[in-house]
Amino acid sequence: MERTFAIIKPDAVERKLAGRIIQRVEEAGFRIRGLRQVSLTKAEAEGFYAVHRERPFFGSLTEFMSSGPAIVMLLEADGAIKKWRDLMGATDPSKAAPGTLRAEFGSSIQCNATHGSDAPETATFESSYFFAGVDTI
C-alpha cells in the first residue's frame, strides 16, 4: 500500500463540490487515512508551495490557496500517487481527460479543484505539513 496527499482546493470547497469529490475518491478504491478542513494563511501557503517560490505563478497560487477553506486528505491505495493523479487529470482542466475530477470540476489551471503529490518524496513532505505525527508513507 502507498499513501499520497491530496487537497480539495478553495474553488471546489466554495462551490460545494467537496462531497462529490470525496465520493469519487472512495469509489476509486482509496482509503482515507486523514481528512480535515484548513484555512491557510498566506505564510502557510508560501511554506507549503516553497518549491515554487521562484516561479512566476507563486504569488497568485499562494494568494488563491489562502483565499478560503480547503480540505486536505491523506489517501491510501495500491499505487496511490499515480492512481490519484490519474483520477485528478491534467492540471489544465481543458486538457484533462473526460471523467477526471479536473475535467468535471475545474475551471482554470489555478482553479482546478484538486491538488496531488507527484512523487513519494513530495507526498511525504506534503502529508507531514498537515498531518504531523501521522505515519505518512
Task: Kindly report, residue by residue over 30-86, the tens digit of the pLDDT.
Answer: 999 999 999 999 999 999 999 889 999 999 999 999 999 999 999 999 999 999 999
For residue 51, give every residue at least 6 positions away whose Cβ sits within 8 Å of its Cβ, in sequence order, or none. none
> For the domain with range 2-130, which CATH number is right: 1.20.1250.20, 3.30.70.141, 3.40.50.720, 3.30.1130.10?
3.30.70.141
Model's pTM, two decimal places? 0.91
Going from N- to C-terminal start, the domains of the chain cover 2-130
Query: Between helices 120-130 and 80-88, what is the axis angle to 10°?
Result: 80
Work out the mean pLDDT of the chain and round it to a whole number.
94
Tell me whether residue 20 is exposed, middle or buried, using C-beta atoms within 10 angstroms of its C-beta: 0 to 12, 13 to 18, 19 or more.
middle
Task: Give me the pLDDT at residue 132, please.
Answer: 80
Q: Of 6, 17, 115, 126, which one is the catalytic site residue?
A: 115
Starting at the edge strand that comes first in sequence, how are the strands of the sheet with 70-77 ordered? Answer: 31-38, 70-77, 2-8, 114-116
For residue 103, the model assigns a pLDDT of 97
Q: What is the pLDDT of residue 134?
A: 59
pLDDT at 11 over 80: yes
Is 52 labeled as catalytic in the residue annotation?
no
In terms of phi and psi (left: phi > 0; alpha: psi -120 to 50; beta: otherwise), the region of 136 is: alpha
Task: Measure CA of the first residue to CA of the last residue in the chain; give whole Å.
Answer: 9
pLDDT at 23 over 80: yes
Query: Mean pLDDT throughout 115-120?
Result: 95
